[in-house]
Structure 1
Amino acid sequence: MSEKSNEIPAARDLLALLNLTDAVVTMDAVHTQHDTATALTSAGADYVLSVKTNQKTLYARLKALPWANIPGHTTTEHGHGRRATRTIKVADVPAWIRFTGATQIAQLRRTITRKGKRTVEVVYLVTSADARTAPPEVLATWIQGHWKVENRLHWVRDVTFDEDRSQVRTGNAPRVMASLRNTAITLLRIHGHENIAAALRHHARDAPRPINPLLTA
């Protein structure tokens, strides 16, 4: 995949600043890059990299593997008006996977049922963590934790705050605005708001109302 975005090398630069010894780093599909895998293993970390349809060839080859013959580990959760069922199947890495240190691959199927409507997402994973360190249930927990961050922070910034279309792009301004958005989201979470869009509308109706979370945080 072309590095047309600054996000890929920027992530590597950030990782280089951290002590990653014995850490496990989960990353979105855009960061499923050979150089990123090499950087993480060289720093003493294990990685869990997602493979989605943005990498068509790799996704197709992983999809074509005989997953039906591999037993799965399934969990189901209920909450927030929905049922989430996750099934993970794990196999040894094929010889044609060239990511540095890769030892396992996995298929993770997530089925969400809300108000009778069902959506299914299938993601493939490549990880350097071996079967002893990351059996299926552990690997699934790592990815679930990653998705929680994605859903509760990144998705809110992208959709509710429409961050991707922000015209603030020069100097330190993008970093400052990102920090302010994170601060607003955190304050609203602390005060019990699960729906950030609804919370923003609630506070916008009364000018003094947004001051209260700041005074009681």
Structure 2
Amino acid sequence: MFKIFIVEDDAKLVSLLKDFLTKYEYEAYSVNDFVTVLEQFEQFEPHLVLLDVNLPKYDGYYWCRQFRKTSTCPILFVSARDAKMDQVMALENGADDYITKPFDYEIVLAKIKSHLRRAYGSFAINQSDWTLKVNGLVLDVERLELRLGEKKVELSHTEARILEELMNKAERVVTRERLLGKIWDDQMFVDDNTLNVYITRVRKKLAQHNIKDALQTVRGKGYQLKTNWGKEG
């Protein structure tokens, strides 16, 4: 049974969400003390998190960063704040998706199922010892790591899927549509700006290996991973 961790201070909404999730055979746990959120998260060990932005003590962006220090589980923000910047901040802080209130429970369920499939189910990248290598750069899709020499950089599931596609087709253009199809199987609910945010995050992960300007935007088409890092001239 998949475990869903709910960080929301609206008691009525929490009750409705827990009833709905229980109906579909998920184990739902809601935070009861907003000072010890991280401790409850670590004790419950969820497969997925539903997280609000406006919370007592610290906001959802803060807690998302804390979760990401120890976990790569899918994190979905659920918030009444619908400005583009709120959604960008959520993704920049480590979230996988953003749902605005009021929401349709069936859409929430579809997104939960989609992210669980991607992380743990039929679409999960969990093949044993499955790695991709391009010019010394190693993507370990099982451990969610990007390695160059002895240095390791941790990835989210979504960042790993984007890099998987780009490294598989290194030096070739990968269309935005292909990346969206690779990452999300519920594209009708995806804001196109979401991909821009993830591309920025992938560039930052590459930059941690001192690989800069390798992931290029091909205007009107998509993205291309150049592989000439570390080469002189």
Normalising by structure 2, we get a TM-score of 0.27
Larger-Rg structure: 1
